[in-house]
C-alpha cells in the first residue's frame, strides 16, 4: 500500500495565545512526494510540522485528525510517532545530545532497536552522504556542520516520513546540493519528504509540490511547474531598498593584522589581515567551516587570536560589549525577557529609541508577545532589534535571514539602512542566502579554507552564487 499522510480540519493554538495558529488545515500527502511548505514568517509552518510529529500538542489546544496509512497519530506518544516520522528541527544545536558525531547518528537508531552492524552501516552511509567525520566532536562543528549532523541522524533512522524545518538555514552550496539530492532520491524511492523552507529559488527545482500557508490556512497547493512560475513572480516582485549615497568615513573601526584563530590550538582562520572602516556594510561568504563565524567571534572579543593583533578604532569610553553588537545564529540564547518590548528595552539607550526601533522593525503588533513564543524568523528580527537598541558602533549578524520571508529581509534591510544613514552604523553580515547577500553586500569578503580568498564589491556576488546554486537558473529563466 502506498504511504499516505492525511491531515483533516486541523486547528491549533498555543496555551499562551488567543489566536489560532492553524485554522482548518486539510492535506492529503503521499509517499513519493517532495513537498515544500512555505509562507510568511509566523504563518504556522513549523507548528504544522510539530503537530504531525506530536511534539507541540502538550503546549496548546489541537482539534482535527492526523493519520498515517489510516492509523490516527493524534494522541500517540511522541516516542511512538518517531518510529514512523523523523524530524530535523530549526534549532540544530538544541537537537544534538551527544559528544561525538558517530554517537549522535547512532542515538536514534539504537532507540529503534537496530543491530550494531546495521547501525554502523547507517553511520557510514549518512556520514558519506552529508560529508561528516564520525570521530569529530559535535562541539567543534560549525552551524552548517550541526545542520548536516541532525539531518544525517534523522535520515539514518530510515523512517518513510521525513519532516525538515528550515534545513538549508546554515548550509553552504555543497551541503545544500548534497542534502537536496538525497531528499529527492528518498522521495523517488517512496518516502514522503516535507520541508518548511523560505529559500524557494534553491529548493523548488527539487520539489514536486508547493503548499503555501498564510495566517494559518492553506492558500495555495501547486504542482512543480506551477510552483516554479509562482516563486519567479515572488522574486521579481521583491524590491531592494536603496540607501542614499553617503561619504564613507576614513576612520578605522576594526583592524586585524595577520590574525590566526581557532579552537583547542587548531587554527580555523589563518593570517587574516582586514581593515573595516566606520560605516561600511560588509557581507562575508564561504563554505561551512571556512571560518566565517569564527571571524565574527574574534571581532566581538569572544575568541582571542592565537597569533596576530586585533585593534579597535571605536569610542573607548564605552565598554566593548556595548560598542559591538553580535546576533548569533540561534536567537534563542539571546532572548530572555518576558515580552518583545522588554527584550528591546533591556539594554536600550533610551525609551525614545525603543519606540523608534519597534516602529522601524515593524514589531508593534508583537510588543506584548513572549519572545520564545514567536516563530524563528520573528525571534531573529527581535534579536536584531534588541541589539540595535543598544546603539552599537558595529553590528555583527550571523545568518540574519534564517526564518525570514522576502518581506522580513526587506524590513530588516530598510531598518538597518535607516539607522546606518543616521548613526554611521557599521554592519558585518555572514550569510549563505543570496537574498541577504544581495541586500547587504556593498563590500564582499569571500573566505576559503580559513583565508581571505577575495575581497571586493557586490560585483562578486553573481560569481559566487551562480556557481554555488546553478539550479537557480531554472527559476530565473
Last residue within a domain, chosen from 174, 205, 237:
237
The phi and psi torsions of 295 (rounded to 5 degrees) equal -60, -45
- Based on the fold, state whether residues 205 and 265 are members of the same structural domain: no
- Residue 303 makes CB contacts below 8 A (sequence gap 6+) with 261, 294, 297
Which one of 187, 213, 237 terminates a domain? 237
Q: Could you tell me which of 355, 356, 344 has the C-alpha nearest to residue 390?
A: 344
C-alpha cell at 28: 492529503
What is the spatial distance between Cα 447 and Cα 113, in angstroms, rounded to a whole number? 43
Is pTM beyond 0.95 here? no
Decide if 359 is inside a domain: yes
Last residue in a domain, options 184, 214, 237: 237
The total domain count for the chain is: 2
The verdict on 222 and 276 lying in the same domain is no
Residues 83 and 225 in one domain: yes
Domain-located, residue 61: yes
- Whether residue 243 lies inside any domain: the answer is no
pLDDT for residue 234: 64
Residues 84 and 221 in one domain: yes
Does residue 259 share a domain with residue 208? no
pLDDT at position 316 is: 67
245 within a domain of the structure (yes/no): no
Contact 202, 469 (CB under 8 A): yes
CATH number at residue 456: 3.40.50.300
| 55 and 187 part of one domain | yes
Could you tell me if 75 and 136 lie in one domain?
A: yes
- State whether 321 and 460 are in the same domain: yes
Q: Please report whether residue 242 resides in a domain.
A: no
- 384 in the same domain as 336: yes
Q: Are residues 264 and 156 in the same domain?
A: no
Does the residue 457 lie in any domain? yes
Q: Which residues contact 236 (CB under 8 A, 6 or more apart)?
A: none
Closest CA to 51 of 8, 113, 103, 4: 8
Whether residue 471 sits in one domain with residue 441? yes
Low-confidence ranges of the chain (pLDDT < 50): 238-244, 246, 469-477
Give the pLDDT score at 471. Answer: 45
Q: 420 in a domain, yes or no?
A: yes
Q: Identify whether the C-beta of residue 50 lies closer than 8 Å to the C-beta of residue 60.
A: no
Residues of the domain holding 325: 252-476
- Whole-number pLDDT of residue 474: 44
Do 370 and 415 sit in the same domain of this protein?
Answer: yes
Classify residue 47: in a domain, yes or no.
Answer: yes
Amino acid at each position: 500500500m502506498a504511504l499516505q499522510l492525511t491531515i483533516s480540519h486541523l486547528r491549533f493554538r498555543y496555551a499562551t495565545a488567543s489566536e489560532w495558529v492553524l485554522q482548518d488545515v486539510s492535506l492529503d500527502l503521499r509517499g513519493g512526494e517532495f513537498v515544500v511548505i512555505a509562507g510568511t514568517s509566523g504563518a504556522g509552518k513549523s507548528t504544522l510540522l510539530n503537530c504531525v510529529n506530536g511534539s507541540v500538542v502538550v503546549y496548546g489546544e489541537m482539534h482535527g485528525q492526523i493519520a498515517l496509512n489510516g492509523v490516527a497519530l493524534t494522541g500517540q506518544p511522541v516516542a511512538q510517532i518517531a518510529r514512523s516520522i523523523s524530524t530535523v528541527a530549526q534549532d540544530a544545536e538544541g537537537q544534538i545530545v551527544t559528544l561525538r558525531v558517530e554517537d549522535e547518528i547512532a542515538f536514534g537508531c539504537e532507540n529503534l532497536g537496530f543491530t550494531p552492524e546495521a547501525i554502523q552501516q547507517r553511520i557510514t552511509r549518512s556520514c558519506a552522504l552529508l560529508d561528516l567525520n564520525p570521530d569529530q566532536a559535535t562541539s567543534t562543528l560549525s552551524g552548517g556542520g550541526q545542520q548536516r549532523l541532525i539531518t544525517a541522524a534523522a535520515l539514518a533512522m530510515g523512517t518513510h516520513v521525513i519532516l525538515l524545518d528550515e534545513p538549508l538555514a546554515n548550509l553552504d552550496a555543497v551541503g545544500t546540493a548534497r542534502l537536496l539530492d538525497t531528499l529527492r532520491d528518498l522521495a523517488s524511492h517512496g518516502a514522503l519528504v516535507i520541508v518548511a523552507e523560505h529559500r524557494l529559488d534553491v529548493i523548488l527545482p527539487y520539489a514536486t509540490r508547493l503548499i503555501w500557508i498564510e495566517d494559518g490556512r492553506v492558500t495555495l497547493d501547486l504542482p512543480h511547474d506551477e510552483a516554479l512560475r509562482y516563486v519567479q513572480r515572488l522574486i521579481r516582485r521583491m524590491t531592494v531598498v536603496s540607501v542614499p549615497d553617503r561619504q564613507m568615513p576614513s576612520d578605522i573601526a576594526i583592524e586585524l593584522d595577520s590574525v590566526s584563530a581557532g579552537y583547542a590550538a587548531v587554527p580555523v582562520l589563518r593570517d587574516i589581515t582586514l581593515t573595516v572602516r566606520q560605516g561600511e556594510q560588509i557581507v562575508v561568504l564561504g563554505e561551512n567551516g571556512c571560518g566565517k563565524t569564527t571571524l565574527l567571534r574574534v571581532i566581538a572579543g569572544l575568541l582571542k587570536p592565537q597569533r596576530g593583533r586585533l585593534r579597535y578604532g571605536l569610542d573607548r569610553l564605552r565598554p566593548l560589549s556595548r560598542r559591538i553588537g553580535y546576533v548569533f545564529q540561534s536567537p534563542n540564547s539571546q532572548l530572555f525577557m518576558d515580552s518583545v518590548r522588554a527584550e528591546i528595552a533591556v539594554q536600550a539607550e533610551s525609551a525614545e529609541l525603543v519606540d523608534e526601533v519597534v516602529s522601524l522593525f515593524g514589531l508593534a503588533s508583537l510588543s506584548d508577545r513572549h519572545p520564545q513564543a514567536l516563530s524563528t524568523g520573528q525571534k531573529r528580527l527581535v534579536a536584531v532589534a534588541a541589539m540595535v537598541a543598544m546603539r552599537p558602533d558595529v553590528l555583527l549578524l550571523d545568518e540574519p535571514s534564517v526564518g525570514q520571508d522576502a518581506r522580513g529581509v526587506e524590513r530588516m534591510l530598510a531598518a538597518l539602512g535607516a539607522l546606518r544613514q543616521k548613526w554611521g552604523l557599521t554592519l558585518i553580515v555572514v550569510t549563505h542566502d543570496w537574498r541577504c547577500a544581495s541586500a547587504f553586500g556593498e563590500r564582499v569578503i569571500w573566505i576559503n579554507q580559513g583565508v581571505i580568498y577575495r575581497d571586493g564589491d557586490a560585483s562578486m556576488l553573481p560569481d559566487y552564487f551562480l556557481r554555488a546554486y546553478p539550479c537557480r537558473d531554472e527559476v530565473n529563466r
